[in-house]
Structure formats: structure tokens, C-alpha cells
Chains A and B, each alone.
Chain A
Amino acid sequence: METILSIHNLNKRYGGLQALKNVSLEITKGNVYGILGPNGSGKSTTLGIVLNVVNKTSGEYSWFGGNLQTHEALKKVGAIIERPNFYPYMTAVQNLKLVCKIKNIDYSKVDEKLELVGLTDRKNSKFSTFSLGMKQRLAIASALLNDPEILILDEPTNGLDPQGIHQIRDIIKHIASKGTTILLASHLLDEVEKVCSHVLVLRKGQVLYSGPVDGVSANEGFFELQADDMENLIIVLNTHPAIDKITTADAKILVYLKSKLESKDLNQFLFANNICLSHLVKRKNSLEEQFLELTKNQ
């Protein structure tokens, strides 16, 4: 797998505050990565360092295997950070052309990318007249100008209304479906859950978890059960070897597992023990629940 960005033991101090502590990350081509963490956990600092706007205190990072200087590598990267930053007195097209000059590419992609984010009819309006959603979409267009190898998004839906969030998400999904590598920093968990395949969880500058989204907490999921004879149900369940613990909530029984167990096997087991279920659902913790679990324990 081709490595796009590798970060090794990155540290950052702001005076007495340790903003990042030994953060390591490897980004390979074609995956969608999420960086999760509460506000102030070091997400933006990490991105700021690899994007050449924040100075690292120690550690290493390298783009595309380290053959290019950072600013040259960044020409092959598209990035949006928190707030869209453009010249308010220039129009959408003029702003994009300036980015073309900086990236040293011709203007051929300007119209295409404006079309992609749905700004064609406003392309000659000044940036200062745009709504936040439009500004954010222009930022995405700008980040895509060079058909980047990797797209970095830092809180792309911050401050947008539900419609704006939906639009941005659609665009991100569209880009991801074309096989562009994406690195998405967010504190909105469902956002990450919906689009990311890998996730890095940060808290107070430390990596709590790094790996596939599904494995954030390695549990086997749990069952929600209901039957007429609840007492008997609990007694029977306690005899099953794969079951870890049983709790009761809202007239339902939550059954946590030690090892893998399929719904049909459980159903069969209970039926063999003369229990008929009126309710059976296998659930996994949502990323949000897992995330809260993960950040609480530390």
C-alpha cells in the first residue's frame, strides 16, 4: 500500500501545555481516515503541523515517502481548515485562480470544480457576499483544484445548518467514492462513522485508539431480549457460556457477550429451553457510545 503521510512521535508544546504527545499515524492511499476527539484534543494542531502552519516541538512527519519538501508536497494536497479563508474582495473565480497560481497549475479546472460544489451561478460574486455554507463549498472546490492525492478536512461542517451539513457530506461521499484518500477531523461522531473506514481517537493530545472504525471498542455487541417469563429467561441465559453479563432496562434484558454469538443460535438455544422470545435485537454500540466509553476510562 502506498503511504501518503506518515507521522511519527509528534509532540507539540504551547508553553506549559502539552498539546500533542507522541502522536503517530500512517495514512495509506485510498482509505478514509477520521480523527476524533473532543474540542481541544489536538486534532487541529496535528493537521496544522503537517500542513506547515504550526511548528512541531519534536517528532517527524513525511509526505509521500519523504521525497518532497513540505511546501512542494502540499501542492498535491487539498486541505480545508476550520474556517474558509479567502480574499473577501475577490470573486469565487478570482480566488480559485489565485490558488491555481500558488499551486502552479493552469486554470482549466476552475469551472469544473465550481460546478461540482454547485457554485457556478455565483462564480462572479464576491466572496464577502457568500453565506457560510457557500464559503465552505468554495473551500472544498479550492481544495479539489489540483485533483489532490489526499483531501484533508478539519471540521468541515462546523457552524453549518442541517442542509449545509447534508450538502457537504454528499460532496465528501462523492469524493470518497472516487477513491480519493480523505483525512477528516471532527468531533461529530456520526459524521466520522458514516464516511470513515479508519479512525484515530485523540484526547488531551494522546492517541487513545488507532485502527478500523469497527474495532474502536472490541466488544461483540449485545442483545436486547424480551419474553413473557422474564425470570426464567434470566436463569436460562446465565447457563450459556458465551454470555458475559445481564442487565435489565425498560422491561428489556440487555445481554452482553464474551464471545461471538449469532442471533439465530441464541434463539435456538432459548427455544430448546422452552422460552419464546417476543423481542430479539442484536446491537452494537454506536461509535458515540464507544467513544464516550473510551474517553471516560482514561
Chain B
Amino acid sequence: MKRLLSIELQKIWLNKASRVLTLTYFILLSFIALIASINFNIGPIKFQVAEMGIFNFPYIWHFNTYIAAILKLFLAIVIVSMMANEYSYGTLKQNLIDGLSKKEFILSKFITIVLFALCSTVFVSILSLILGYSFSSYNELSIVFSDLDYLLAFFVKLVGFFSFCLFLGILVKRSAFALGFLLVWNVIEAIGKGFLNFRIFPEGKMAGYITQFFPLESMANLIVEPFTRTSLVKTIGTQIGVENIKDYSVHFSDIAIVLCWTIIFLFLSYRILKNRDL
């Protein structure tokens, strides 16, 4: 396992583009801290975003993981290109001839994916702890370490998404086309969702029940948007009389669905690799 990881990390780290993208990703992640310094200065109304409560424990776990997940596209590019490059350089063939089995090949990519997701999760946790302790109104341990399931959801979301990218890289063989396909898939899901919502099941929860099984939708469902949960929005909501009944918590069913997709993507990747003549 250490051997597989070191093979893969050498491939990624020595590639300048991948290295720059990976570093950019982590640097951008730490820029979440900069949100703290945003000041609104509208004449008499002055407020700092940091004091709006977005860095309060435990809400910060939700907010930071949601924002950080947006940046996953940077690593997605690295993963898609690390797979597509193996095809365009002909090194996939050479690796197999040199004695790597197809199973080991997929496994080395997957371990790297898990490592990326793990690093991101650890990075975001540390960042959140620092930001939280600097700005949060509540510092009691029991509050600080509540709602940690957002971190788990974040990890699962990244692993699932990257597995999807890996699968697309293997399926399409060209990084640009694979990323294009990702975009197209996104649109397909949106259309499918709209169609189910407005044409087939205009009433009831049937549409939502079906769309939660779409791969990208299920990943999006893991961490719902946190913005309407801020105290500011809530206050406005209560003033105009809208009771917010949205469920923000992480559901075990969503995690299970995403893990299923991860397994499916890995299995399909292996199947494609196994049956394709190089």
C-alpha cells in the first residue's frame, strides 16, 4: 500500500501542473479565513461578516465544509488529468508491462484520492478550529465538538466526487473531454431533476425521493447550503413571517448513497480497464 501510494504521489508531485493545482487548492482553502476580514460599510450600517455568527461553533463546521467543497474542482482536475495522462503518455501500458496489476493500478489511484480527501478534511478541521476559537461566541468543548458529522460528510463527498472523476478519466481517456463530460452530466442531472419535479411528479415528495439517488445530486445533498441558517437570514425570516423548516443536518442515507456510488465507480473503472485492449 505504501508502495502504491509512493508510485502515485511521484507521478503527481513531479508534474508541474498537478503540483501547482494541488498547492493552489490548499492555499485557496486557507483563504476561507479571509472571509473574516470582510467588512460591509454602508453608511450608518457597519458590520463584519465574522461577527454575523458564521464562525460560531458548531455552525462553522457546516459553513466551512460547504465552502471548502466548492474548491474540490481543483483537485478534480488533477485527478482527471492524472488518469487521462496515463493513456496519452502510453504509461498505463508500460506500468502494466513493468508488473503492476490492473487492480493495483486502480488501487493506487484510489488510495491517492482517499489521501487527498483526508488531507482536505484535516486541513479544513484545523482551519475551522483556529477560526472558531478566534471568532466564536461559544468556546465550550461540548459545543466545539458537536456537529462533527459535517466533517465526515465532507470526506465522503470528496471521495465520492473524486471517484467519479477517476471513472470519467478512465472512460473518456482525455482530460478535457472528461471534465466536459462532468459538466454535461451535471446538466443532464439538472434537466432530469427539473423534468421529474415539474412534469412527472409536480406534487409530493416523489421527485426528491428519486433525484437523491443521482450521483452528483447525492453528493450535493450531503451538505446543504448553510446561508439561510445564519442568524441574519433567520431574523429577516421571522420578521416577514416565514418559518424556516429546512433540514440542515447530515443524513446517514445520503452518506450511504454516496458510498454506494463510490463503490460502483471503482468497480466500473476496474471493469473498463480489465476489458479494454491497450
Seen from chain A, the residues whose Cβ lies within 8 Å of a Cβ on chain B are: 14, 48, 51-55, 69-72, 74-75, 77, 79, 81, 83, 85-90, 94, 97-99, 101-104, 142
The CA-CA distance from A146 to B187 in the complex, in Å, is 50
> Are B10 and A102 neighbours in the complex by a CB distance under 8 Å?
no
> Are B277 and A72 neighbours in the complex by a CB distance under 8 Å?
no
> Are B96 and A51 neighbours in the complex by a CB distance under 8 Å?
yes
The CA-CA distance from A170 to B97 in the complex, in Å, is 24
> Are B275 and A55 neighbours in the complex by a CB distance under 8 Å?
yes
> Are A53 and B93 neighbours in the complex by a CB distance under 8 Å?
yes
The number of A-B residue pairs with CB atoms under 8 Å apart is 81
The CA-CA distance from A207 to B277 in the complex, in Å, is 22
> Are A87 and B93 neighbours in the complex by a CB distance under 8 Å?
no
Measured between C-beta atoms, what is the minimum distance from B7 to chain A in Å? 5
- B42 contacts partner chain A, Cβ-Cβ < 8 Å: no
The CA-CA distance from A51 to B95 in the complex, in Å, is 11
- B44 contacts partner chain A, Cβ-Cβ < 8 Å: no
- Which residues in chain B, 36-86, are within 8 Å of chain A measured between CB atoms? 85
> Are B94 and A85 neighbours in the complex by a CB distance under 8 Å?
yes
> Are A54 and B278 neighbours in the complex by a CB distance under 8 Å?
yes
Q: A79-B97, A85-B91 are in contact. List 19 more A-B contacts (CB 8 A).
A: A52-B102, A54-B278, A71-B101, A71-B104, A74-B96, A75-B99, A77-B99, A81-B94, A85-B90, A86-B89, A87-B85, A90-B14, A98-B11, A101-B3, A101-B6, A102-B7, A102-B95, A102-B99, A102-B100
- B-side contacts of A70, CB under 8 Å: 101
The CA-CA distance from A52 to B274 in the complex, in Å, is 10
Interface centre among A48, A89, A90 (most CB of B within 10 A): A89
Seen from chain B, the residues whose Cβ lies within 8 Å of a Cβ on chain A are: 3, 6-7, 10-11, 14-16, 85, 89-91, 93-102, 104, 274-275, 277-278
Q: Give the nearest-CB partner of B276 in chain A.
A: A55
The one of A55, A79, A88, A142 in contact with B89, judged by C-beta atoms closer than 8 angstroms, is A88
Q: Give the nearest-CB partner of A69 in chain B.
A: B101
- A-side contacts of B93, CB under 8 Å: 53, 81, 85
Measured between C-beta atoms, what is the minimum distance from A97 to chain B in Å? 8
> Are A85 and B96 neighbours in the complex by a CB distance under 8 Å?
no
> Are A89 and B14 neighbours in the complex by a CB distance under 8 Å?
yes
> Are A74 and B91 neighbours in the complex by a CB distance under 8 Å?
no
Q: Give the nearest-CB partner of A75 in chain B.
A: B99
- B-side contacts of A142, CB under 8 Å: 98
**Given A48-B277, A53-B278, A71-B101, also A89-B15 (CB < 8 A):** yes
**Given A85-B89, A85-B91, A90-B14, also A74-B98 (CB < 8 A):** yes
- B-side contacts of A101, CB under 8 Å: 3, 6-7, 10
**Given A101-B7, A104-B3, also A87-B99 (CB < 8 A):** no
Q: Please, could you name 21 A-B residue pairs with CB atoms under 8 Å apart, sorted by A?
A: A48-B277, A51-B97, A52-B96, A52-B101, A52-B102, A53-B277, A54-B277, A55-B277, A69-B101, A71-B101, A72-B99, A74-B97, A74-B98, A77-B99, A87-B85, A88-B89, A90-B14, A99-B98, A101-B3, A103-B99, A104-B3
Q: Give the nearest-CB partner of B85 in chain A.
A: A87
The one of A53, A89, A90 in contact with B96, judged by C-beta atoms closer than 8 angstroms, is A53
The 10 closest A-B pairs by CB, nearest first: A85-B90, A75-B99, A71-B101, A85-B94, A74-B99, A53-B278, A102-B98, A54-B277, A51-B97, A79-B97
Interface centre among B6, B93, B104, B275 (most CB of A within 10 A): B93
The CA-CA distance from A293 to B231 in the complex, in Å, is 90
Q: Give the nearest-CB partner of B10 in chain A.
A: A98
